[in-house]
Structure 1
Amino acid sequence: MNAGIIGAGKLGSALAIALSKAGFCICGIYSKSEESCQLLCRKLNIDVANNLGTVVRKSDVIFVCLPDNDIENMALRIASHFEPELIRSKVFFHVSGALTTEVLKPLENLGAFTGSFHPIQTFADRENGWEKLYDCFFGFEGCNEAGECAETIVGRLNGRLIFISKEHKPLYHAAACIISNYTVTLFHIMFKMLIRTGMNEDAAVNAFMPLLKNTVDNIEGLGYISALTGPISRGDHKVVEQHLKSLSYEIPEVEDIYRLLGRETVDIALKKGNLNEEDVLRLNGVLGNKG
């Protein structure tokens, strides 16, 4: 299968390398950055021009690995600049987690098979990001023909495909953002709190990183409900009250975040079976009941 890549950023590059190692032929690359295109060519040990026409003409399946705001414009550009016979029956994927195949409608109207092909993974490392695409889950939304193609590709990557309905795509992506992006945000909040205690930056990171890693291990090994520990899990409302008093004085902008997360944590602790009715009432009283 001949594959083309539009967008040679972190994800586009990782995808191209992973596909190449899985036996697919990368026959075309197009990037707004000539440097990024040539860097990817060197990694793939191929010699192709940075040319959109080459991607469209030679590829059976084309991955649009662009920022969300640019995907629809690229679909319109391809639909208006190339003959319909070059588009018909080819598979076009975009890799956005948030957008549906509606942004590829101009290509679908010309007979292309379209789908969204979203790796449920994070790609901060440009050099070794391709490794994360193996044994990975992928969210898919699109037509049956594109789905069959996606299953073939994912199978070669030893991954699994999850089918997402069009109407649930934003909720699916919001979930991904919460667990990935907002974990970074929570680490940032923790960092600010520890710096306020007088801890230096290295200690703040190094001392608490094992706690974060072990929490993730516990979620994976025990399930997220059994992995819960801490004062709310124990029903210790007095400790929670102390936390809130300290936050109110030291970092008041974090207090509402603590209360919101605390109320959700009460629900988890209740499912775990650690709390009785009195514990729940006291904790919710301290945290503020849900409105």
Structure 2
Amino acid sequence: MNIGIVGAGKVGCALAQGLENNGFNISGVYSRSDDSQQYLCAKVGKTFENSISDTVKNSELIFISVSDNNIIKVAEEIGRKVDNDIIRAKTFIHLSGALTSKALRPLENLGAYTASLHPIQSVADKEKGWKKLYNIFYGFEGCKEALDYALSIVKSFEGRLIEIREQYKTLYHAAACIISNYTVTLSYAAHEILESIGFDRETANEAFLPLIKNTVDNIERLGSVNALTGPISRGDYSVVGEHVKELGKLDKELENMYKVMGRKTVEIAREKGTLTNEAAKELMKIL
């Protein structure tokens, strides 16, 4: 299968290297940055002109790996610069978790097959990001013809494909942001608290890492509900009250964050069955 890559950022680099390693033929690379394009060409051991037209012309499947704000613009650019006869019946897949295949409507209107395929993974660097694409889930939304290509790609990464209805794509992506981005935010908030009581930045960063890793391990083994521990799970509302009081003195934003997360945690604890009605009521008064 000949695969073109439009966009040589972190995800584009990871995908291209992974696909080449998996036996697919990377048949073109295009980037607005010549340096990024040449970097990715070197990584896959090939030389291509930095041409969006050539990338599309030489490929059966084209991945559009650009920022969400630019996907429609790139689709329109392809429609302007590439002959319609070349676009017709080719498959274009963007990698956004938030946008649907409608972002590629300019190409669909010209006879192309379109879809979105979102690796449920964070890719932090160009060098080794491809290793993160194996044994994960991929969210797919789009037409049947594109699905056949996507299944082949996901299978090569030993992954699992989840089909997502178009109307649910935004909520799907919101869930991904909560679990990934907001985990980072929670870690940052915890570091702020530790630094406020005298921890140096390095110690603050390292002290809770085993706790985070063990929590993730517990979620994997037991599920989110049964992995819950801590004062809310035990119904220790006096402890929670002290947390709220001290956080309020330190930073109102942190206090509010704690309360919002706490109310949802009460819900989890009730589902787990570790809270009495009385303890739950007391906790909700505090939170």
TM-score bracket relative to the smaller structure: over 0.9
CA contact (8 A) 1:114 1:146 kept: yes
CA contact (8 A) 2:117 2:138 kept: yes
CA contact (8 A) 1:4 1:29 kept: yes
Q: CA deviation at 1:221?
A: 1.1
Matched, 1:259 2:255: no
How many aligned residue pairs are there? 287
| Structure-1 residue corresponding to 2:159 | 159
After superposing on structure 2, the runs of 4+ consecutive aligned residues of structure 1 that deviate more than 2 Å are none
Name the aligned partner's letter for residue 70 of structure 2.
D
Name the aligned partner's letter for residue 121 of structure 2.
Q
Q: Distance in 1 between matches of 2:56 and 2:253?
A: 50
Q: Distance in 1 between matches of 2:134 and 2:207?
A: 31
Query: SS in structure 2 opposite 1:199?
Result: coil
| Structure-1 residue corresponding to 2:22 | 22
| Structure-1 residue corresponding to 2:81 | 81
Q: CA deviation at 1:125?
A: 2.2
| Structure-1 residue corresponding to 2:225 | 225
Matched, 1:212 2:212: yes
Q: Distance in 1 between matches of 2:62 and 2:243?
A: 52
**Structure 1, unpaired ranges of 5+:** none
Q: Deviations over 1:175-211 (max 9, x none)?
A: 0001001111111110111111111111111111111
Q: Distance in 1 between matches of 2:132 and 2:241?
A: 42
Name the aligned partner's letter for residue 145 of structure 2.
E
After TM superposition, the structure 1 = structure 2 runs for residues 267-278 of structure 1, keeping only pairs within 5 Å, are: 267-278=267-278
Report the TM-score when normalising by structure 2: 0.99
Name the aligned partner's letter for residue 23 of structure 1.
G
Q: Deviations over 1:224-281 (max 9, x none)?
A: 1111000000000000000000011112221111111000000111111101111111
Instruction: Kindly report the root-mean-square deviation, in angstroms, between the aligned alpha carbons of the 2 structures.
Output: 0.8
Identity of aligned residues (%): 51
Q: Distance in 2 between matches of 1:281 and 1:234?
A: 13
CA contact (8 A) 1:193 1:251 kept: no
Query: SS in structure 2 opposite 1:28?
Result: strand
Q: Distance in 2 between matches of 1:30 and 1:81?
A: 13
CA contact (8 A) 2:53 2:81 kept: no
| Structure-2 residue corresponding to 1:45 | 45
**Structure 2, unpaired ranges of 5+:** none
Report the TM-score when normalising by structure 1: 0.97
